Structure 1
Amino acid sequence: MLTLTDNATAIVSTLVSRQNDAPDAGLRIHSAPAQDDAGAAHLAVAVTADPEPADQVVEVQGTRLFLDDAAAAALDDKILDAGVDDEGSVSFAVLPQVA
């Protein structure tokens, strides 16, 4: 199951609370069209008030993530980390879980 670093939990919570005041809002991670010639799957994120009907809901310390089927499969055994640069831009990193 996807886990989050403490940093990612804090950043996602802050993003969601600043962009949506719905009580069950969360960060939706979903598949997006490939942006390169390799045709590799890409994931995108968006703050939403509710999950889509088929989304898997992951809750970590009150932080809600909504994963579509492709994202759930790609992130099942991963760790999500996040950071904020000097301009305030958020970036996410997907790391392998250590057994």
Structure 2
Amino acid sequence: MLTLTENAANVIRNITGQQDMPAGTGLRIAATDEGALNLNLSPEPEEGDQVVDDSGVRLFLDSDAAVMLDDKALDAAVDADGSVQFALAEQSEESGEAQ
């Protein structure tokens, strides 16, 4: 199952916790036909989504994304301009954290 680094959890928590976001909003990750991933904020999961609750953060994974990300860890960073960059890493076998 997809895990989050502490950085990713903090970034997503900050985004979804903004005043104009409904309670329960999460980051939805969906696979495209080309094998890429789309990330969007969603007030709730869509039918068939896998819901990941990790460190107070909700992720909604469509079925294809859930398979693609099963052994991955999501990381995030914010640059000097305030832009968020997400990255995927392999999970370590022992802790489930990013390597």
Interval containing the TM-score (normalised by the shorter chain): 0.7 to 0.9
User: Where does structure 1 lack aligned partners over 5 or more consecutive residues?
Assistant: 35-40
Using the aligned pairs only, state the percent identity: 45
Query: 24, 42, 50: which one pairs with 1:48?
Result: 42
3-state SS of paired residue (2:27): strand
CA distance in 1: counterparts of 2:85 and 2:67, whole angstroms: 21
| 3-state SS, counterpart of residue 18 of structure 1 | coil
2:17 is paired with a residue whose SS is helix
Give 1:16 shift.
Answer: 1.2
Answer 1 or 2: which has greater helix percent: 1
TM-score calculated relative to the size of structure 1: 0.87
Distance in 2 between residues matched to 1:87 and 1:33, nearest whole Å: 31
Partner of 1:37: none
Higher deviation after alignment, 24-33 or 55-64:
24-33
Q: Within 1, Cα distance between the matches of 2:65 and 2:50?
A: 9
What stretches of structure 1 move > 6 A for 4+ residues in a row?
Answer: none
What TM-score does the superposition give when structure 2 sets the normalisation length?
A: 0.87
- Aligned residues between the structures: 93
